[in-house]
């Protein structure tokens, strides 16, 4: 099998490496540029099957005796044998033998053939971790939750990394066999069944992938080629070699991985982890992130796709179109919105929250412009942060109150709802879900889960101790946690109890119906309100009304503007309202259509703004107002001249 690769287009037409069954047996291909010989060793067969060299540094060949289901390793120069770097399945983990898998053997349904894919506009994302999402911790078990999520209003699932990693539990960001789904979650066809089931429920599904480093245990790539790694450092180890010597085959390896997830598994796109640690100096003419985006589109075969990036540096180039000099990705995680929301919800401003105040202007600016830091000085890092994003559509910013990182980093990894007042949490939730960004839930958040979510891993020996020590050092940036009082409560990532506390409890799904109703009703408004759906990225403005209160106005034609009033302080009376955004469209009054303080959400009732009197804003409340025809036409009073009539004046 030959691979077709074009650096100009940045796509691969077929997997350049791995084991692929065909009519003649199985075709093997591996990149080992420093090897003199490469042999395939099949379990249960004492014969060594030599592969033939081909430029530049590949070895390949068809072995008639090898078939789907067989297990194998590669032997370099007649020595020790190692699992395939592009193995499609590692049934005994990263240190075991690889299994030959035929991706074409899975029969997709007719419904799948009609699936159109998804684009970023109008989506509601849901991040989940297979290993903690259900008690069974498998791909197939996750399917049982899909109908509930779709009925709630979720539209796209974002699956945390599933590439094979060492240990029995983990987040997945230390993957070492990037082509192999983690064996404890199920077989490759189980993953395909999960993707297909998502589509059958009307859900898009994208996969979180890690293209900035490999995990520290079970990584045998250096046995085949030292040039997989660049020597450039990241927080988690050596960075990938996308721009140095011998880097073209490395790029091909990762683009083949992209192609597999999209074409062989039918994922609707990818979420790219920590893109600030994906280094490419332009040696190949096109940045690897551009090539990844193109590969996703090309591999989807006409289906719509989504590519989301995490980027700590807040570089808007990632989401600017190619015509405007950008990389053309679809969206980025917006940490700024989260940080301001966390300060508003909890009042805590430690560590990387210290440059946020949680004040009204921050939320107005986040709604209008996405990132809050677009080139200003950032005290926490002692440098400028971000680049200008004023021209970027607001739908390109993924907003959230919880995600796997932020939930695990806050306090004792307790759910945000439990460390804020109930009313304030409801108010900020409404701001988030009725805002113009693309919202993302974290698993369990939709029903008010009280289970924590910690960083956990399943390493052994010295590596386990090093991971525990590193996590403790990371958490020490939060001064309130680095105390004699709090250190005993540190959740050691290598303790089994840390993982157990992070698993969702299905019994909680019916424990807080008011939280379920809150999220479901807000998502219904988001989905059905004609102004919100058509103008989600259209004309929008906002104004600060007090130290704790602000308004966002969505402008629309035909006098159908919408008003979002958010108060995060005490009851507020505005007898004077010298703010044009509060004025209703001509001939209309404002009507309260929804309030976060309605009793069905656990609230205490909401005051209704009166056009002819004071605006009365309920404490810690968000209100959604729509125009209605005025009850009576507005009649101006005679002008006051400031001169009183004498008692005996006559007309």
**DSSP H helical ranges for 176-235:** 188-200, 221-224
Beta bridge partners of 309: 272, 332
DSSP string spanning 519-557? HHHHHHHHHH-HHHHHSTTSSEEEEE-SSSEEEEEE--S
Per the listing, tokens 């108060």 go with 567
Question: Would you say 493 and 457 are in contact if contact means Cβ atoms under 8 Å apart?
Answer: yes
Residue recorded with tokens 């287009």: 9
| Residue 189 is a catalytic residue | no
Catalytic site includes residue 227: no
In whole angstroms, what is the distance from residue 71 CA to residue 94 CA? 13
Residue with tokens 């990225």: 537
Torsion, Cα 318 324 330 334, to 10 degrees, reads 50
Active-site residue, selected from the candidate residues 84, 268, 273, 521: 273
Give 55's contacts (C-beta < 8 A, 6+ positions apart).
Answer: none
User: Distance between the two ends of the chain, CA-based, in angstroms?
Assistant: 103
Residue corresponding to tokens 């399943």: 458
Which class for 650: exposed (0-12), middle (13-18), buried (19 or more C-beta within 10 A)?
exposed
351 neighbors 329 (Cβ within 8 angstroms): no
Q: With the CA atoms of 406, 409, 413 and 417 taken in that order, what torsion angle do they form, in degrees rounded to the nearest 10?
A: -40
**Alpha helices (runs of H) in 67-118, residue ranges in sequence order:** 110-113
Exposed, middle or buried, 588 (CB in 10 Å: 0-12/13-18/19+)?
A: middle
CA dihedral 548→554→560→565, nearest 10 degrees, is: -10
The sign of the CA dihedral 326, 327, 328, 334 is negative
Cβ-contact 159, 440 below 8 angstroms:
no
CA distance 228 to 178: 13
Does residue 7 come out as left (phi exceeding 0), alpha (psi in the -120 to 50 range) or beta? alpha
Catalytic residue among 217, 310, 330, 492: 310
Structure tokens at 508: 């909680």
Quick check: 542 and 368 in contact, CB under 8 A?
A: yes
Q: Which residues contact 53 (CB under 8 A, 6 or more apart)?
A: 59
Is 61 exposed, middle or buried, given 0-12, 13-18 or 19+ CB atoms closer than 10 A?
A: middle
Q: Kindly state the DSSP code that residue 304 receives in the 8-state scheme.
A: B
DSSP H or E run through 369 = helix 360-369
Q: Which residues are catalytic?
A: 273, 310
């Amino acid at each position: 099998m030959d691979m077709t690769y074009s650096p100009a287009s940045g796509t691969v037409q077929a997997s350049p490496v791995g084991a692929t069954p065909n009519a003649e047996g199985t075709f093997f291909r591996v990149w080992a540029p420093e090897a003199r010989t490469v042999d395939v060793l099949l379990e249960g067969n004492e014969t060594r099957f030599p592969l033939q060299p081909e430029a530049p540094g590949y070895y390949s060949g068809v072995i008639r005796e090898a078939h789907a289901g067989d297990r194998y390793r590669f032997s370099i120069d007649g020595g020790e044998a190692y699992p395939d770097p592009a193995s499609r399945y590692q049934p005994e983990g990263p240190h075991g033998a690889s299994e030959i898998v035929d991706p074409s053997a899975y029969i997709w349904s007719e419904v799948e053939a009609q699936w159109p894919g998804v684009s970023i506009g109008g989506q509601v994302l849901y991040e989940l971790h297979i290993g903690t999402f259900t008690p069974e911790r498998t791909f197939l078990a996750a399917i049982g939750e899909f109908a509930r999520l779709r009925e709630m209003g979720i539209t796209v699932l974002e699956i945390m990394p599933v590439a094979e990693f060492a240990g029995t539990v983990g987040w997945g960001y230390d993957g070492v066999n990037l082509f192999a789904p983690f064996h404890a979650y199920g077989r490759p066809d189980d993953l395909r069944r999960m993707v297909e089931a998502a589509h059958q429920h009307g859900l898009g599904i994208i996969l979180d992938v890690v293209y900035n480093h490999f995990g520290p245990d079970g990584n045998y790539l250096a046995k085949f080629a030292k040039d997989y790694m660049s020597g450039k450092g990241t927080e988690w180890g050596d960075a990938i070699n996308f721009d140095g010597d011998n880097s073209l085959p490395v790029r091909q390896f990762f683009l083949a991985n992209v192609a597999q997830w999209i074409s062989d598994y039918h994922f609707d796109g990818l979420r790219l982890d920590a893109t600030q640690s994906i280094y490419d100096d332009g040696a190949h003419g096109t940045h690897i992130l551009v090539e990844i985006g193109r590969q996703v589109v090309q591999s989807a075969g006409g289906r719509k796709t989504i590519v989301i990036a995490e980027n700590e540096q807040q570089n808007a180039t990632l989401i600017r179109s190619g015509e405007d000099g950008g990389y053309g990705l679809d969206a980025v995680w917006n940490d700024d919105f989260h940080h301001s929301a966390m300060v508003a919800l909890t009042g805590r401003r430690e560590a990387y929250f210290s440059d946020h105040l949680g004040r009204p202007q921050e939320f107005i600016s986040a709604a209008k412009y996405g990132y809050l830091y677009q080139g200003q000085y950032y005290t926490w890092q002692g440098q400028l942060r971000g680049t200008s994003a004023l021209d970027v559509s607001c739908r390109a910013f993924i907003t959230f109150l919880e995600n796997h990182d932020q939930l695990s980093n806050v306090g004792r990894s307790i759910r945000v709802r439990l460390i804020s007042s109930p009313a304030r949490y409801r108010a900020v939730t409404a701001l988030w879900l009725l805002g113009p960004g693309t919202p993302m839930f974290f698993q369990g958040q939709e029903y008010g889960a009280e289970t924590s979510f910690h960083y956990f891993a399943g390493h052994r020996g010295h590596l386990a101790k090093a991971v525990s020590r590193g996590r403790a050092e990371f958490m020490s940036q939060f001064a309130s946690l680095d105390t004699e009082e709090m250190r005993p409560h540190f959740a050691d990532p290598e303790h089994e109890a840390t993982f157990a506390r992070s698993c969702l409890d299905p019994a909680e799904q019916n424990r807080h119906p008011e939280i379920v109703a809150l999220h479901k009703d807000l998502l219904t408004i988001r989905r059905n309100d004609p102004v919100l759906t058509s103008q989600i990225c259209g004309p929008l403005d906002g104004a600060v009304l007090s130290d704790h209160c602000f308004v966002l106005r969505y402008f629309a034609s035909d006098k159908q503007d919408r008003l979002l009033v958010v108060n995060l302080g005490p009851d507020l009376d505005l007898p004077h309202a010298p703010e044009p955004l509060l004025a209703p469209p001509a001939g209309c009054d404002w009507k309260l259509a929804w309030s976060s303080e309605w009793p069905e959400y656990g609230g205490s009732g909401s005051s209704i703004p009166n056009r002819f009197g004071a605006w009365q804003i309920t404490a810690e409340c968000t209100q959604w107002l729509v125009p209605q025809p005025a009850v009576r036409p507005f009649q101006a009073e005679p002008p006051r001249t400031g001169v009183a009539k004498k008692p005996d004046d006559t007309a």
